[in-house]
Structure 1
Amino acid sequence: MLQAASRTRRIVATWLTVIGSITACAAASAEQVHIAVAANFTAPAKVLAAMFEKTTGHTARLTFGATGAFYTQIRHGAPFDVLLAADDERPALLEKEGAIVPGSRFTYAVGQLALWSARPGVVDPQGAVLKIGQFHKLAIANPKLAPYGAAAVEAMNQLGVYAALQPRLVTGESIGQTYHFVASGNAELGFVALSQIQDAGVIRGGSWWIVPARLHAPIVQDAVILQRAQANPAAQSWMDLLRSPKAKALIRDHGYAVP
């Protein structure tokens, strides 16, 4: 009886040692990747980060903001490993400047612009509210920093309403801040990313107009691995996930086209 109990304790101790070794090896091989994420991609990025940790054991640390601001920060040495931009212009500039891992740039999403109000009945399905003008404040993202803001200005110019609406514009530093202006009611309506108001193909309330793609240049969103992360396996694992069929389906569900 005593011998059996002793043998059981030895077996348990051995297994605990083995499990501890496996855990230690997994911890040693796990890495962290610091990702600068365009604000429009906040919702899908958070889901992808959870998926990433579960499937790879690596950790994704996400920072959200405006692509133009990220570009400036990266040029001044900000410690990002990956950039998920809201355009293809800044990633192309970083590539030209030798700041990315060669061959890492690719398009992960093509964004859609929407005119949205948190209240039903404010925005009509044709966007005629922009010409009728029965509102006080219209929110847009800073067109110098945020590609969705630049697209909004281009669309308003195409419609011939930009000059008349300029006195009513409220400018957010990113599309994330712009969304909060509208969601909080500080602006009756605003130009946001469709992805901010859509989940699983369904728009989450309020009233909206999906801006026709012909009214602005395509919002092509590129991802790159930055030079500092060329030896970081977590950075490449993140990009592999971003290209996967499962990630592409998730990105589509959040209101993007996927090339």
Structure 2
Amino acid sequence: MPLFIRKHVAALLTAVLPLMLAGNAQAEGDHLAIVAVPSIAPAAATLNTEFLRQHPGTAITVASAASATLGTQIEADGAFDVLLADDQALPQRLAASGKLDGGSTRVIGIGLLALWTNTPGVNPGRGRPLFAADYINAIAIADPAGSPFGVIATTALDRLGVAEIATPKLKRLADDLAVAEEIKARGSDIGLLPMPMVKAPAYRDIGQYILLPIGVYEPAQYTASLSKAASGNALAQAYVEFLRSAPARALLATAGFEAPAPTPAP
């Protein structure tokens, strides 16, 4: 299986690696291979702990990369059981290429867009005028070419009417995890990124943030899907259903995810 984990980012390894080691230490038995976008990978550690409590003896590995990278690697015959994505476009693309069971996709949470800073003296509550302020020299976002939240951030800047002034200040980084690391290190004055990333253990007590008004962007729909190969795997099916259960919803809420709209009755 190709390795999706961003080895050079300590924050993500802190969230994921202990879970992988715990899974490898288990007696030989059922195994789940999960691939996830960066903004849900930290929450996966807590979610998987609860799932393991309900399914003892299961080994779980989690690997993470930007949405576009995941898609490319999976299409190049990357093996996985469950995909955790931050949109519906990636599952649809992989279903069309025969790598994913399109009928298995479920919305498990909604991701809002946060304006976050770790720069002393910067008040994110200033709103629109902040982007034009002369003391704001760098604004970090995920690259729209590889991240759904990069697209969301770009749309928000346009609808806020600050795209012209903000664009020369933009630093387009590899993914949402790179944006979080950038803001934590004060490499950029402010950043636009998913609320679940701001709430991740490595970042939640750092700096200040506000949520941008939903009217200036469409919130992300986080999804869980089965690979084509795992479509008949009862354990993988149980995992996707678990993510929509009340215990998982509570854990996701704590991790910064909004609850999805209720599924209409048949």
Q: What is the TM-score of this pair, normalised by structure 1? A: 0.82
Q: What is the CA RMSD across the aligned residues, in angstroms?
A: 2.2
Q: Secondary structure at the match of 1:171?
A: strand
In structure 2, the CA distance between the partners of 1:98 and 1:116, relative to structure 1 (3 Å rule), is: same
**In 2: Cα distance, 1:178 partner to 1:124 partner:** 16
Q: Which runs of 5+ in 1 are unaligned?
A: 1-25
The answer for the alignment partner of 2:230 in structure 1 is 229
* Residue 39 of structure 2 is aligned to residue 40 of structure 1: yes
The answer for the alignment partner of 1:112 in structure 2 is 112
The answer for the alignment partner of 1:15 in structure 2 is none
In structure 2, the CA distance between the partners of 1:172 and 1:199, relative to structure 1 (3 Å rule), is: closer
The answer for the alignment partner of 2:92 in structure 1 is 92
Count of matched residue pairs: 232
Q: Which runs of 5+ in 2 are unaligned?
A: 1-25, 261-266
**In 2: Cα distance, 1:184 partner to 1:249 partner:** 30
Contact 1:35 1:63 in 2 (8 A): yes
Q: Deviations over 1:149-186 (max 9, x none)?
A: 11110001112222322222222211011100100111
**In 1: Cα distance, 2:204 partner to 2:134 partner:** 24
**In 2: Cα distance, 1:217 partner to 1:131 partner:** 24
Q: What is the TM-score of this pair, normalised by structure 2? A: 0.80
User: 2:252 corresponds to which letter in structure 1?
Assistant: I
Task: For residue 94 of structure 1, report the CA deviation from its aligned partner.
Answer: 2.2
Q: Secondary structure at the match of 1:79?
A: coil
In structure 2, the CA distance between the partners of 1:195 and 1:227, relative to structure 1 (3 Å rule), is: same
User: Which protein is bigger by CA-based radius of gyration?
Assistant: 1
The equivalences for 1:156-175 within 5 A come to: 156-175=157-176
User: 2:84 corresponds to which letter in structure 1?
Assistant: L
Q: Secondary structure at the match of 1:101?
A: strand
Contact 1:82 1:225 in 2 (8 A): yes
User: Percent identical across equivalent pairs?
Assistant: 26
**In 1: Cα distance, 2:248 partner to 2:211 partner:** 23
**In 1: Cα distance, 2:47 partner to 2:195 partner:** 18
The structure that is helix-richer by fraction is 1
User: 2:219 corresponds to which letter in structure 1?
Assistant: P
**In 1: Cα distance, 2:187 partner to 2:232 partner:** 45
